[in-house]
Structure 1
Amino acid sequence: MSSPISELPIRQIPGDYGLPFIGPIKDRFNYYYTQGELQFFKARIEKYQSTVFRCNMPPGPFMARDPRVICLLDAVSFQTLLDNSKVEKKDVLDGTFMPSTSFTGGYRACAYLDPSEPNHATLKGFYLSLLSKKHDLFIPLFLQTLSGLFSGLEDEISAKGISNFNDLNDTASFEFVFRLLCDKSPLETDIGPKGPKLVDLWIFCQLAPLITLGSKFIPNFLEDLLLHTIPLPFFVVKSNYNKLYDAFYKSAGSILDEAEKLGLKRDEACHNLVFLAGFNAYGGMKALFPSLIKWVGTAGEDLHRRLADEIRAVVKRSGVTFTALNEMSLTKSVVYEALRIEPPVPYQYAKAKHDFKIQNHDSSFLIKKGEMLFGYQPIVTKDPKIFENPDEFVPDRFVGENEKLIEYVYWSNGRQTEDPTVGNKQCPAKDLVVILCRLMLVEFFLKYDTFEVEIGKLLLGSSVVFKSLTKATTNHS
């Protein structure tokens, strides 16, 4: 796919940061308002004739962090962000901005730690051990959750003719995560049915400096002033967060006991558990499942028929098991393709540990120690030198010999072909996410033949409204 780095011509990294203070604000307005996110990057790739260039990334001034980055917007240079020997991931989860640790009990959550920090291995090991112990619950618990979600879809369509998938998905996702970690429903705690809303506001207040509301009713300059100049304070969501924390602290006693045996403070383990459950797991499912349904829904009846045929044949033979899921080549490919075309986490940041060279497809570049590197995955995973028709959703893209291309599906802060360890920053639940996406499709097409959806845009991901839902003539589940 690319030449050895020693054979590529060395090129000075194009682009600039503009004047102090003015340059970052100009780039921020282009990013949010004048050009928009995608065009912001595409215009610079075209201008500089390079997928590696310099610019400022929001939020910029007043946020107490240098906004200057080097963009890596192809499948080759992006790999640098995954190489722990070259880059550091300390406090860069949100890039050129970091929320106050007040949002996480005064602790830096594991996601903000670099693997070189002592506590990272302990916390990441805690996560991996926890998921391993819960492995046998993944399928039955998620199937139970999906049953409620699908019943809600059917009831709403029957009553109103349409159904908002996002609301039902949020409820189901939080229910699954809480049950998985705490062995009880959130309805059995003081959270009650408010879990998703509590987490949504908590996440919004942390990420507000990095988003745009896209509202026609708020002038751009006013939104910029309100969201991108001063972080929202923790006290806005303090009571909400305390409810979440207390529910996990009271309900996840055995898990917290295990954390203490590993040497973690009980309150630190609980704050990290809330972050894992709310920010990582629920937040990821909130964006990913509507995206999956959106792409499958808009692909049309032919794909629906092919998925239903494959799923029903395998389930009839083998049931719904991990082995059966792995036999469904088209279903697997559809999930990988959804992760490729719309990665649930679009950004990756890292800081250079030392001077080194990187390369894209046709040049090499010198990176200096301390420089911030940035990758925008929705462009990276559509690299036309890796994927044919990269902007199209191709359901069988990863079937057969082409399955090897999953190496370039970087959604999990790592290659799809690699595994999360205590020594890397790859999502500890990477494999679980893929399994749940497959299960979503399997259960759906055991019950239904086809469906129609209407698509919109939300602050986090896509809105999906079901307009029709055709039940299978025979229930195969």
Structure 2
Amino acid sequence: MSSKSSSSPSKLQSSSSDDSPPTDLPLKPIPGNYGKPFFGPIKDRLDYFYHQGKDTFFQTRIQEHQSTVFRTNMPPGPFISSNSNVIALLDAISFPILFDTSKVQKLNVFVGTYMPSTALTGGYRVCAYLDPSEPKHALLKRLIFSILASLHDKFIPLFRNCLSELFVNLEDQFSDKGKVYFNTISDKMSFDFVFRLFCDQNPSDTRLGSKGSTMSDKWLFFQLAPLMTLGLPKLLNFFEDVLLHTFPLPAFLVKSDYNKLYNAFYGSMASILDEAEQSGIKRNEACHNLVFMAGFNTYGGLKTLLPALIKWVGLAGEKLHRELCDEIRTIVRAEGGVTFSALEKMTLTKSVVYEALRIEPPVAFQYAKAKEDLVVHSHDAAFKIKRGEMIFGYQPFATKDPKVFENPEEFVGHRFVGEGEKLLKYVYWSNGREIDDPTVENKQCPAKDLVVLLSRVMLVELFLRYDTFTIEAGTLLLGGLKTLLPALIKWVGLAGEKLHRELCDEIRTIVRAEGGVTFSALEKMTLTKSVVYEALRFEPPVAFQYAKAKKDLVVHRPMMRLLRSRRRK
């Protein structure tokens, strides 16, 4: 594309590709501004965290500028970030420029406009913060590829074993307490899997004991706190903003936990560290990088991905559950087990995993700096980005681009089946296109294929073990219904044996007569319906309701009038 600006065309590169719009799109100035120094970034930070929220923050600016490419500030701002100014890319066409390391630099931008203290990683800039142009990047990423290749045969059997323990723990805790929180048990399972994968022993057999996931969570929090909000009451927003977003949390507060993690990995990875030394990487530097890969990239990724996967599949409903059950059970039976070959044949299962990664990617943000003047395309315009400017992409908007995906806000399990596979080039969760492969020259996640594999195995184990109704019960652990189910079990349990016998008689008699659990059968269970309504009355899952009066009105309280009339008598 020839430039229409005053810059020398020889220095201007285009980000167009086979998927880009025609190169004759008008070259427009990038809309938006950064506001006044210091105050502009703080205003945008408050809008982002408190006044608007993430999605509304971006949506209002898209509407204001009538563009998916614009200038804004990204948190955390002063005093953690020295420069909050970014050019935001919020559509599927402009977003991939962030992956092109021939045109953009990925130096120290892994989490955003700031870099956490290297005191949190043993004094080293780990691989995630290195640009591919740095010699150490290729050494470290090649080591990671080698490790993953050597562990290839352990992925499926080890993860299946860990998932079996997960489901047993979920069922046991639910039976004992009448309630269970999926995320807590999932986090522990994820950490145990990661540690057993890389260290070949259970963390409970080391000094970590059962606290490995908790220690990792604290360490992750100290790195990501500037990007987080705790959901506190509005009165506390100011204090939270000062505490989390204004000054870095001191690394020494989590040093003890990190050292325990480091020592546990160091003492269990002798052969891997030997390989690192032979390739020219210092033993302790390699270990700090591997702790980051295992604790931040792998465990942190599973901590986000698995609950999201369960949530979206659960919300998708009974029809999709039946289809997944049919596909998974049929293929596992035909293949004689859960194998790589079997997983590859599960087209719907693969599509569901990709759809979960599309609709709620585990990594929401991407950052890069322009190496030179370049042009980026959106659907309807071209924009010049100058050398050194920070480019930012909010992935949930790019992967829900309505000009690429039909019904982008809906979870569509079949989206990537058949011809839908062509849309995989717009799935960007791995810091690259789903159709591309990670290499030492790019910043795409080296464990990209492993993440997809583990997600498929999760669904396979889920639907081999549970049918539709059971999986619906499992998904109640997420969202507002996690309050209802424990309350229902509690009150029915306290009601006593007489009610239990009556419920048994009604349910078993009607199910037998109707030939199964159907809508018709459920409608005939009058006592069962009454028990559910009574639980909802006695302990409603939503305790509070709020509204504002549109006009002056009168609210009657009959009981108060009755009490007053009695006093007069």
TM over 0.5: yes
Q: Contact (CA 8 Å) 2:28, 2:383: kept in 1 or not?
A: yes
Whole-angstrom distance in 2 between the partners of 1:55 and 1:122: 36
Q: Contact (CA 8 Å) 1:357, 1:364: kept in 2 or not?
A: yes
1:454 maps to what in 2?
476
Q: Contact (CA 8 Å) 2:93, 2:378: kept in 1 or not?
A: yes
Whole-angstrom distance in 2 between the partners of 1:268 and 1:441: 36
Q: Contact (CA 8 Å) 1:295, 1:393: kept in 2 or not?
A: yes
Q: Give the Å deviation of 1:268.
A: 0.2
Q: Secondary structure at the match of 1:54?
A: strand
Q: Give the Å deviation of 1:456.
A: 5.7
Partner AA of 1:206 in structure 2: Q
Establish whether residue 364 from structure 1 lines up as the match of residue 382 from structure 2: yes
Q: Give the Å deviation of 1:85.
A: 0.9
Q: Contact (CA 8 Å) 1:348, 1:376: kept in 2 or not?
A: yes
Partner AA of 1:454 in structure 2: L
Whole-angstrom distance in 1 between the partners of 2:202 and 2:478: 31
2:411 maps to what in 1?
393
1:119 maps to what in 2?
136
2:237 maps to what in 1?
220
Whole-angstrom distance in 1 between the partners of 2:22 and 2:375: 8
Whole-angstrom distance in 1 between the partners of 2:334 and 2:45: 55
Whole-angstrom distance in 1 between the partners of 2:146 and 2:417: 32
2:539 maps to what in 1?
none
Question: Residue 276 of structure 1: which of 290, 293, 317 is its match?
Answer: 293
The superposition leaves residues 123-166 of structure 1 with CA deviations (integer Å, 9 ceiling, x where unpaired) of 00000110000000001101110110010111122223332111
The equivalences for 1:15-414 within 5 A come to 15-216=32-233, 219-318=236-335, 319-414=337-432
Q: Contact (CA 8 Å) 1:165, 1:465: kept in 2 or not?
A: no
Q: 1:98 to 1:186 in 2, by over 3 A?
A: same
1:415 maps to what in 2?
433
Whole-angstrom distance in 2 between the partners of 1:5 and 1:126: 41
Whole-angstrom distance in 2 between the partners of 1:301 and 1:275: 39
Q: Contact (CA 8 Å) 1:109, 1:275: kept in 2 or not?
A: yes
1:426 maps to what in 2?
444
Q: Give the Å deviation of 1:95.
A: 1.1
Whole-angstrom distance in 2 between the partners of 1:33 and 1:432: 36
Normalised by the length of structure 1, the TM-score is 0.95
Q: Secondary structure at the match of 1:192?
A: coil
Whole-angstrom distance in 2 between the partners of 1:430 and 1:161: 37
Partner AA of 2:365 in structure 1: Y
Q: 1:434 to 1:466 in 2, by over 3 A?
A: farther
Q: Per chain length, whose mean CA-contact separation is higher, i.e. which structure has more relative contact order (CA < 8 Å, sep 6+)?
A: 1
Q: Contact (CA 8 Å) 1:165, 1:466: kept in 2 or not?
A: no
Q: Give the Å deviation of 1:24.
A: 0.5
Q: Secondary structure at the match of 1:193?
A: coil
Number of aligned residues: 465
Whole-angstrom distance in 2 between the partners of 1:249 and 1:184: 13
Q: 1:145 to 1:19 in 2, by over 3 A?
A: same
2:536 maps to what in 1?
none
Question: Residue 26 of structure 2: which of 9, 28, 45 is its match?
Answer: 9
Whole-angstrom distance in 2 between the partners of 1:204 and 1:217: 21
Q: Which moved more, 1:445-454 or 1:261-270?
A: 445-454
Q: 1:467 to 1:440 in 2, by over 3 A?
A: farther
Q: 1:349 to 1:76 in 2, by over 3 A?
A: same
The superposition leaves residues 83-132 of structure 1 with CA deviations (integer Å, 9 ceiling, x where unpaired) of 11110000001111110000000000100000000000000000011000
Q: Which moved more, 1:395-404 or 1:215-224?
A: 215-224
Residue identity (%): 63
Q: Contact (CA 8 Å) 2:430, 2:445: kept in 1 or not?
A: yes
Q: Contact (CA 8 Å) 1:290, 1:463: kept in 2 or not?
A: no
Q: Contact (CA 8 Å) 2:30, 2:69: kept in 1 or not?
A: yes
Partner AA of 2:476 in structure 1: E
Partner AA of 1:191 in structure 2: L
Whole-angstrom distance in 2 between the partners of 1:166 and 1:464: 12
Q: Contact (CA 8 Å) 1:60, 1:66: kept in 2 or not?
A: yes
Q: Secondary structure at the match of 1:426?
A: coil
Q: Which moved more, 1:86-95 or 1:153-162?
A: 153-162
The superposition leaves residues 196-245 of structure 1 with CA deviations (integer Å, 9 ceiling, x where unpaired) of 00000001011111111111175211111111110001111011000000
Q: Secondary structure at the match of 1:7?
A: coil
Q: Give the Å deviation of 1:168.
A: 1.0
Q: Secondary structure at the match of 2:476?
A: strand
Whole-angstrom distance in 2 between the partners of 1:411 and 1:455: 25
Partner AA of 1:239 in structure 2: S
Q: Give the Å deviation of 1:299.
A: 1.2
Whole-angstrom distance in 2 between the partners of 1:376 and 1:214: 21
Whole-angstrom distance in 1 between the partners of 2:264 and 2:432: 32
Whole-angstrom distance in 2 between the partners of 1:5 and 1:348: 25
Q: Secondary structure at the match of 2:211?
A: helix
Q: 1:398 to 1:466 in 2, by over 3 A?
A: farther
**For structure 2, which runs of at least 5 residues remain unmatched after alignment?**
1-17, 487-569
Q: 1:147 to 1:339 in 2, by over 3 A?
A: same
Q: Secondary structure at the match of 2:467?
A: strand
Partner AA of 2:384 in structure 1: L
Q: Contact (CA 8 Å) 1:93, 1:349: kept in 2 or not?
A: yes
Whole-angstrom distance in 2 between the partners of 1:328 and 1:224: 46
* Bigger Cα Rg: 2
Whole-angstrom distance in 1 between the partners of 2:258 and 2:174: 34
Q: 1:445 to 1:466 in 2, by over 3 A?
A: farther
Q: Which moved more, 1:268-277 or 1:149-158?
A: 149-158
Whole-angstrom distance in 1 between the partners of 2:244 and 2:90: 27
Whole-angstrom distance in 2 between the partners of 1:32 and 1:391: 22
Q: Contact (CA 8 Å) 1:163, 1:467: kept in 2 or not?
A: no
1:475 maps to what in 2?
none
Q: Secondary structure at the match of 1:53?
A: strand
Q: Give the Å deviation of 1:264.
A: 0.2
Q: Contact (CA 8 Å) 1:162, 1:466: kept in 2 or not?
A: no
Q: 1:466 to 1:84 in 2, by over 3 A?
A: farther
